Amino acid sequence: MTPIPIEDPDDPRLAAYTRMRERDLVGREGRFIAEGEVVLRVLLSPRARFRVESVLLSPERLPGLAPALTGLDAPVYLAAKAVMGAVAGFPIHRGVLAVGLRGPDPAPDALVPAGPALLVGLVGLANHDNVGGLFRNAAAFGADAVLLDAETCDPLYRKAIRVSAGTSLTVPFARLPTGDGLLDLCERQALVPVALSPRGEAITGLPPLPRALLLLGTEGPGLPEALMARARRVAIPMAPGVDSLNVAVAGAVALHRLGGERLARL
């Protein structure tokens, strides 16, 4: 790894870092942006599922990150923060960026392990904070993979990666066109589909489910009734008069119940 200093914001080697916010919205043709030290360290670790195309650091960040960059098979560019800001279109206070390559999405069925399995299925979740938070919780509670319907936002969106603390780079995910596709997959793979509903059985009394997929929908409308009807409905006990939690929080409590007992024995 020999760092390459760059002084010109129009240098074509930085093309993938330009106009960052506009391109967050329109997509990057197979690339994603990783920002900040926590996320970069995950991207550089063997846990990450994605290849690095390049790294862009402000020079004062190099000494601390150099050990993590040894052996990296991609260019490391150095540019002053003012140049980074001119390229990105807004100030890059932390001075740490990288471009990763998405590669092809895995097939959903390929992400279901034989034997004990815990998956998460996201339906219609358009909020990047919630999707990022759910990846972080999926990683913490040992979920094997996350499956997304077409309406759920991109886990490799810049902010989603950051909120996930980098776990959207490590927890495998794949897309299905519809929520119904998630239920069909559960049938094929002998997974118990579990959905949260205030009228479900108490999750505190749920027997161990060796193969389960936790379905999560938006906080307001929740999961479509047709999906609910095909799932095992469980309730997180809540105080009278309270009927909802943030979806990432509800997901964490449910994953703790579904996966936590197994983790406690590790």
Q: Which residues bind a copy of itself (CB under 8 A)?
A: 47, 133, 136-137, 139-142, 165, 167, 202, 204-205, 236-242, 244-246, 248-249, 252-253, 256, 260-261, 263-264, 266
Q: Which is nearer to a copy of itself, 19 or 47 (CB)?
A: 47
Q: How near is the Cβ of 263 to a copy of itself at its closest, in Å?
A: 4
Work out the burial of residue 106: count CB atoms within 10 Å of its CB; fewer than 13 is exposed, 13-18 middle, 19 or more buried: middle
Name the percent of the chain in helix, strand, coil, to the closest 5.
40, 20, 40
In the bound complex, what is the minimum distance in angstroms from residue 140's beta carbon to a copy of itself?
Answer: 5
C-beta closer to a copy of itself: residue 19 or 45: 45
Beta carbon of residue 163, minimum distance to a copy of itself (angstroms, whole number): 9
Q: How far is the CB of 178 from a copy of itself (least distance, A)?
A: 28
Q: Which secondary-structure segment (H or E) carries 33? A: strand 31-35
Q: How far apart are CA 75 and CA 217, in angstroms?
A: 40
14 or 171: CB nearest a copy of itself: 171
The least distance separating a copy of itself from the CB of residue 75, rounded to whole angstroms, comes to 29
CB–CB of 152/123 below 8 Å?
yes
- Please compute, for residue 194, the number of CA atoms within 13 A of its CA located in the half-sphere on the CB side: 29
At its nearest, how many Å lie between a copy of itself and the CB of residue 241? 7
Q: Which is nearer to a copy of itself, 87 or 134 (CB)?
A: 134
Give whichever of 187 and 201 is closer to a copy of itself, judged by the CB atom.
201
SS (H, E, C) 122-163: ECCCCCHHHHHHHHHHHHHCCCCEEEECCCCCCCCCHHHHHH
Burial label, 129 (beta-carbon count in 10 A; 0-12, 13-18, 19+): middle
Amino acid identity, position 206: L
Residue number with CB closer to a copy of itself (81 or 159): 159
Q: State how far the Cα of 223 lies from the Cα of 11, in Å rounded to an integer.
A: 47
Tell me phi and psi for residue 121, to 5 degrees: -120, 120
Tell the smallest beta-carbon distance from residue 63 to a copy of itself (Å).
21
If the CB atoms of residues 23 and 128 are measured against a copy of itself, the closer one turns out to be 128
Q: Based on CB atoms, which residue is closest to a copy of itself, 1 or 68?
A: 68
b/e burial code for range 20-52 (CB count within 10 A of at least 16 → b): beebbeeebeebbbbbbeebbebbbeeebebeb
Residue 115 beta carbon to a copy of itself: minimum distance, rounded to whole angstroms:
16
